[in-house]
Amino acid sequence: MLDAPSNRPDLPAEIARRRTFAIISHPDAGKTTLTEKFLLYGGAIQMAGQVRAKGEARRTRSDFMKMEQDRGISVSASAMSFDYGNFRYNLVDTPGHSDFSEDTYRTLTAVDAAIMVIDGAKGVESQTQKLFEVCRLRDLPILTFCNKMDREARDTFEIIDEIQENLAIDVTPASWPIGMGQDFVGCYDLLRDRLELMDRADRNKVADSIKIEGLDDPKLAEHVPDHLLEQLKEEIEMARELLPRLDPQAVAEGHMTPIWFGSAINSFGVRELMDGIGNLAPEPQPARAEPRQIAPEEKKVSGFVFKVQANMDPKHRDRVAFVRLSSGHFERGMKLTHVRSKKAMTISAPVLFLASDRELAEEAWAGDIIGIPNHGQLRIGDTLTEGEALRVTGIPSFAPELLQGVRAGDPMKAKHLEKALFQFAEEGAAKVFKPNIGSGYIVGVVGALQFEVLGARIEQEYGLPVRFEPSQFTSARWVHGDKAAVEKFVNANKQHIAHDNDGDVVYMTRLQWDIDRVARDYPDITLSATKEMM
Ligand code: G4P
């Protein structure tokens, strides 16, 4: 057995059994299908349909809007908790579309590990590569699932080589596929010397597993067809010789990824992957914070907001802030300090996203994700504690890559537009800039699809048709420096200055030349393309 000893014996058992992770993949690789199967094993079968409704593959704008109309679904699928074996799994959904990469980045600040799903025929695709880079920035441990082995796939060594080369990470096979496509019969579990056989007749059936005493065990020949047996033995011998052995420490540090082969749609390989997450993905990790790090085993509760979802019910303008608990044992009704405003908040109706529906969370532990309904007090990057002035760090905001002016279709409704824009900005759906000169707002996003979604949502949720128009600026940079230097800079560059939705000073331009000039002429000022949310 592979039960990795916890290297944190001081953790309360409830925290030590939690695994909080996200799935990263290119659209269509099978993330939704895999999620469904996780939930199936986790005893939440009724969830399957809901996940499907949120399938991210081939999503068009209209699919997106349709999905967004049913905000309930999208929220309950944003974080899902389920039990399997000894573990409590918290799966945090990452938006699949590349236009939402900032949201994805922030989501990855809330997890301790990621599952990378690749399609066996396609290998590492562009979106996977991008998301992998984000995980690498945070040294997140990554476990790999190579899906769709029931179809023609690439040669196993080729897939492993591609991951090693493109992503510069060691790959160790946790299982080895036997045959491929029509010929695929199952996998040899290299970690436990077991044969896992796939049942094509029943897609929801858990595979049979047969204990094997090494490659010379005659039982192998009973189950593996002759024409595949020799090949299997040769390949495994070669793999053991050429590929690195599993090193749990290297996995924990993000230098090595174990790979499982399977077929999500046939429920095959999923159980082994889940066991792998339990055994190899880490327990809740300490959170980076100022002025000190937060350890999960601390008695006092703390957590941070990594996502806000607004207008779940357009009539009430309520929002749910998704909070990753960083420490302690949370109980419903607790009074927590909202560190940014220094105000106390009684958390009376937190939700846990268990199984099929959201439920009131009576309790939760470090590592869990809870939803806190609120009227706008909670913003992305906010920290909640039992009183101590801690601030979780490392939740970034990126300078938008696309800027457009925005106007209300009805000029009398400018105030309403302002309110709507600020609301979406707080949700993290866009940046809003108010230039110092002139009227109106400039909206900044990372991907063009966000303009469409934003326009449609403002119209739908606020009954306010809006028009986007070209802006005279194409870049926005946050201005950092001491107060006097910033003031001097602002006064000398009035036509380039705006304030963002948090009131921070921003320099706007359409020329890289201007940005270079500032660097040259104002040594006391730094222009930056990211800022920390707080
Ligand atoms: P995504 O969330 O990563 O975008 O992928 P999703 O799970 O939606 O899967 C994309 C397509 O791949 C779906 O087919 C799904 O049924 C299929 N698929 C997932 N896992 C496997 C697998 O192990 N083997 C095979 N052969 N196919 C798999 P679709 O036809 O596009 O959608 P649907 O009609 O099945 O819903």
DSSP string covering 110-162: T-SEEEEEEETTTBS-HHHHHHHHHHHHTT--EEEEEE-TTS----HHHHHHH
Ligand 1, pocket-test mutation among 24, 28, 37, 51, most atoms within 8 A of CB: 28
What atom of ligand 1 comes closest to residue 147's alpha carbon? 23
Angle at which helix 126-137 crosses helix 101-108, to 10 degrees, equals: 40
Single-letter code of the amino acid located at 168: A
Is 221 inside a domain boundary? yes
Tell me the CATH number at 452. 3.30.70.3280
Q: Of 115, 116, 118, nearest to 159 (Cα)?
A: 118
Residue 242 Cα to ligand 1 midpoint, Å, equals 32
- Is residue 484 located within the same domain as residue 385? no
Residue 263 Cα to ligand 1 midpoint, Å, equals 10
- Is residue 42 located within the same domain as residue 90? yes
For residue 67, pLDDT over 70 is answered with no
As a whole number of angstroms, the distance between CA 258 and CA 163 comes to 11
pLDDT for res 286: 96
Identify the domain boundary among 226, 250, 280.
280
Burial readout 483-498 (b: 16 or more C-beta within 10 A, e: otherwise): eebbeebbeebeebbb
Judge if the beta carbon of residue 119 lies within 6 A of ligand 1: no
Q: Could you tell me which residues are annotated as the binding site for GTP?
A: 25-32, 93-97, 147-150
Contact criterion met (CB below 8 Å) for 380 and 308: yes
Ligand 1, pocket-test mutation among 265, 267, 273, most atoms within 8 A of CB: 265
Residue 103 Cα to ligand 1 midpoint, Å, equals 24
Residue 53 Cα to ligand 1 midpoint, Å, equals 13
Is 6 inside a domain boundary? no
What atom of ligand 1 comes closest to residue 96's alpha carbon? 4
Confidence category of residue 203, pLDDT binned at 50, 70, 90: low
Length of the chain: 534
- At 409, list the tokens: 């279709």
For residue 54, pLDDT over 60 is answered with no
What atom of ligand 1 comes closest to residue 27's alpha carbon? 4
Is 144 inside a domain boundary? yes
pLDDT for res 351: 84
As a whole number of angstroms, the distance between CA 507 and CA 518 comes to 10
- Is residue 345 located within the same domain as residue 405? no
As a whole number of angstroms, the distance between CA 402 and CA 369 comes to 32
Strand partners of residue 117: 25, 145
- Is residue 182 located within the same domain as residue 302? no
| pTM for this entry | 0.83
Residue 307 Cα to ligand 1 midpoint, Å, equals 27
Confidence category of residue 311, pLDDT binned at 50, 70, 90: low
- Is residue 189 located within the same domain as residue 329? no
Judge if the beta carbon of residue 45 lies within 6 A of ligand 1: no
What is the average pLDDT across 120-124?
95
What atom of ligand 1 comes closest to residue 151's alpha carbon? 26
Is 3 inside a domain boundary? no
pLDDT per residue over 448-493, tens digit each? Answer: 878 888 898 899 888 899 999 999 999 999 999 999 999 999 999 9
What is the average pLDDT across 412-437?
88
More confident residue, 35 or 318: 35
pLDDT for res 429: 78
pLDDT for res 52: 46
220: containing domain = 13-280
Q: Which of 141-145, 289-293, 316-320, 483-487 has the lowest mean pLDDT?
A: 316-320
Identify the domain boundary among 392, 416, 438.
392
What atom of ligand 1 comes closest to residue 35's alpha carbon? 7
Highest mean pLDDT among 30-39, 117-126, 213-222: 117-126
Q: Which of 140-144, 373-377, 390-394, 481-485 has the lowest mean pLDDT?
A: 373-377
- Is residue 317 located within the same domain as residue 240? no
- Is residue 336 located within the same domain as residue 306? yes
To the nearest whole number, what is the mean pLDDT of the chain? 86
Is 4 inside a domain boundary? no
More confident residue, 33 or 104: 33
- At 478, list the tokens: 């946050």
Residue 500 Cα to ligand 1 midpoint, Å, equals 41
pLDDT per residue over 78-91, tens digit each? Answer: 788 888 889 999 99
pLDDT per residue over 226-283, tens digit each? Answer: 989 999 999 999 999 999 999 999 999 999 999 999 999 998 999 999 999 999 999 9
For residue 7, pLDDT over 70 is answered with no
Q: Which of 43-52, 152-161, 265-274, 401-410 has the lowest mean pLDDT?
A: 43-52
- Is residue 403 located within the same domain as residue 256? no
- Is residue 386 located within the same domain as residue 403? no
Residue 57 Cα to ligand 1 midpoint, Å, equals 8
pLDDT for res 283: 96
Q: Which residue has the tokens 């706008």?
A: 376
As a whole number of angstroms, the distance between CA 254 and CA 257 comes to 7
Q: What DSSP character marks residue 305?
A: E
For residue 74, pLDDT over 50 is answered with no
For residue 112, pLDDT over 60 is answered with yes
Judge if the beta carbon of residue 32 lies within 6 A of ligand 1: yes
- Is residue 362 located within the same domain as residue 450? no
Judge if the beta carbon of residue 150 lies within 6 A of ligand 1: yes
Is 2 inside a domain boundary? no
- Is residue 430 located within the same domain as residue 324? no
- Is residue 247 located within the same domain as residue 109? yes
Tell me the CATH number at 341. 3.40.50.300
As a whole number of angstroms, the distance between CA 497 and CA 504 comes to 10
Identify the domain boundary among 280, 315, 345.
280
Confidence category of residue 44, pLDDT binned at 50, 70, 90: low
Judge if the beta carbon of residue 121 lies within 6 A of ligand 1: no
Domain count across the chain:
3
Is 5 inside a domain boundary? no
Is 422 inside a domain boundary? yes
- At 466, list the tokens: 């809006």
Q: Which residue has the tokens 């000893």?
A: 5
pLDDT for res 314: 56
